[in-house]
Chain A
Amino acid sequence: MTSQILQLVLGLLAMPAIVLAIILPGELAIRRFPQKRQSSLRPWIWLSPVLALVGLVIAYPLAASIVFSFRDATASKWVGFSNFVWAFGSAMRPVLFNNVLWIVVFPLLTAVLALSAAIMLDRVKYERIARTFLILPTAMSFVAGAVIWKMMYTYEPPMQPQTGTLNAIWTAITGRMPIAWLIDRSVNNYALIVVAVWMSIGVATLILSAGVKNMPRELVEAARIDGAGEWAIFRFVTLPSLWPTILVVLTTQAIFSLKVFDIVYVMTNGSFGTDVIANRMYTELFVKQNLGTASAIAVLLLILASPVIFMNIKQIKSGGGE
Chain B
Amino acid sequence: MANVNLRDVRKIYNQTQVIHGVNVDIDDGEFVVLVGPSGCGKSTLLRMIAGLEEISDGQVHIGSTIVNDMSPKDRDIAMVFQSYALYPHMTVAQNMGFSLQMRGNAKAEIRIEVEKAAKILDLEALLERYPRQLSGGQRQRVAMGRAIVRNPQVFLFDEPLSNLDAKLRVIMRGEIKALHQRLGSTMVYVTHDQIEAMTMADKIVVMRDGFVEQVGSPLALYDRPANLFVAGFIGSPGMNFLSGRYAAGAVWIGDVRFPVSDLPVSASEGRRVIYGIRPENLAISDDDGLPLVVDVIEPTGAETHVVGHISGQRVIGVFRERFATRPGDVLRVKFDPWKVHLFDQQSEQRIN
Where the two chains meet, the residues of A that have a C-beta atom closer than 8 Å to any C-beta of B are 34-36
Contacts and interface: CB of A to CB of B under 8 A. Distances in A.
Interface in B32-59: 51, 54
Contacts of A34: 69
Q: Which of B51, B69, B70 has the most chain A CB atoms inside 10 A of its CB?
A: B69
B71 interface: yes
A33 to B, nearest CB: 10
Nearest to B68: A35
7 contacts: A34-B69, A35-B51, A35-B69, A35-B70, A35-B71, A36-B54, A36-B69
A32 to B, nearest CB: 12
Listed from nearest, the 7 A-B pairs whose CB atoms lie closest are A34-B69, A35-B69, A35-B71, A36-B54, A35-B70, A36-B69, A35-B51
Interface in B168-217: none
A51 to B, nearest CB: 26
A42 to B, nearest CB: 12
Nearest to A39: B54
Q: Is the interface of A mostly helix, strand, loop or mixed?
A: helix
Nearest to B54: A36
Contacts of B69: 34-36
B11 to A, nearest CB: 14
Contacts, number: 7
Contacts of B71: 35
Contacts of A35: 51, 69-71
Contacts of A36: 54, 69
A111 to B, nearest CB: 39
Contacts of B54: 36
Contacts of B51: 35
A36 B70 CA distance: 9
B104 to A, nearest CB: 16
A34 B74 CA distance: 12
A83 B54 CA distance: 56
A36 B68 CA distance: 10
A36 B69 CA distance: 7
Nearest to B69: A34
A40 to B, nearest CB: 11
Interface string B290-305: 0000000000000000
Contacts of B70: 35
B251 to A, nearest CB: 54
A36 B54 CA distance: 8
Interface in B46-90: 51, 54, 69-71
Nearest to B51: A35
Interface string B317-346: 000000000000000000000000000000
A34 B67 CA distance: 11
A294 B87 CA distance: 53
Nearest to B71: A35
A36 B71 CA distance: 9
A35 B72 CA distance: 10
A41 to B, nearest CB: 14
A232 to B, nearest CB: 45
A34 B71 CA distance: 9
A34 B51 CA distance: 13
A35 B71 CA distance: 6
A36 B51 CA distance: 11
A221 to B, nearest CB: 34
Nearest to A34: B69
B319 to A, nearest CB: 50
Nearest to A38: B71
A35 B48 CA distance: 13
B71 to A, nearest CB: 5
A35 B60 CA distance: 15
A34 B70 CA distance: 8
A163 B54 CA distance: 75
Nearest to A37: B69
A187 B133 CA distance: 61
Nearest to A33: B69
A226 to B, nearest CB: 42
B48 to A, nearest CB: 13
A31 to B, nearest CB: 10
A36 B56 CA distance: 11
A34 B54 CA distance: 12
B50 to A, nearest CB: 13
A89 to B, nearest CB: 54
Nearest to A36: B54
B10 to A, nearest CB: 16
B178 to A, nearest CB: 36
A43 to B, nearest CB: 16
A35 B50 CA distance: 13
A135 B289 CA distance: 85
A161 to B, nearest CB: 62
B66 to A, nearest CB: 12
B201 to A, nearest CB: 31
A120 to B, nearest CB: 37
B297 to A, nearest CB: 43
A35 B51 CA distance: 10
A237 B83 CA distance: 39
A258 B71 CA distance: 51
Interface in B299-314: none
A74 to B, nearest CB: 53
A35 B54 CA distance: 9
